[in-house]
Amino acid sequence: MARPRAACGTYAAYRRHLREKSPVDDACRAAARAEKARRSDAEAETRVAEAQERSGATVTSITKPDSAASTPQIDVQAELHANLTLVKAAMAVVGLSDPSKLPALSKRHSELLQELERAGATSESEDPFDAFFSGGNVVGFTAAADRKSS
């Protein structure tokens, strides 16, 4: 007994239309778009997870407050740190797939650092990324002694 054909409105039916070179109906076309979006989202999640694993950063999930509860106090520094971690992970992913988006992410990275500074957060150590562009000692070698002129 043959297997039943997939009903229209599914991704399998969309693939059947393509394979049989028959006209694709709207329901199958919508199912194909939904499947493509699902796969794209899954791929993006995988890339972010891999970038977080490489960088050692973790992003905690942000939960929405209950509508019945009173307005929660927002920890500005924690939110800024979470955004900074997210931007760093995005920079790692985008650097591999689409380097043309790095300048915008870099700008946002700098803006977040400035906002953290204004919020009174002190960073544990200077970010090498910022140190490099400000002309700081990125490598950590001691500065060479001034030479005497002869």
Mean pLDDT by 10-residue block, N- to C-terminus, for the chain (150 residues)?
86 93 92 89 80 64 51 67 79 75 82 80 56 58 60
pLDDT of residue 123: 46
Write the CB contacts of 102 (distance below 8 Å, at least 6 apart in sequence).
91, 94, 95
pLDDT of residue 16: 93
pLDDT of residue 148: 66
- Cα–Cα distance between 123 and 130 in angstroms, integer? 12
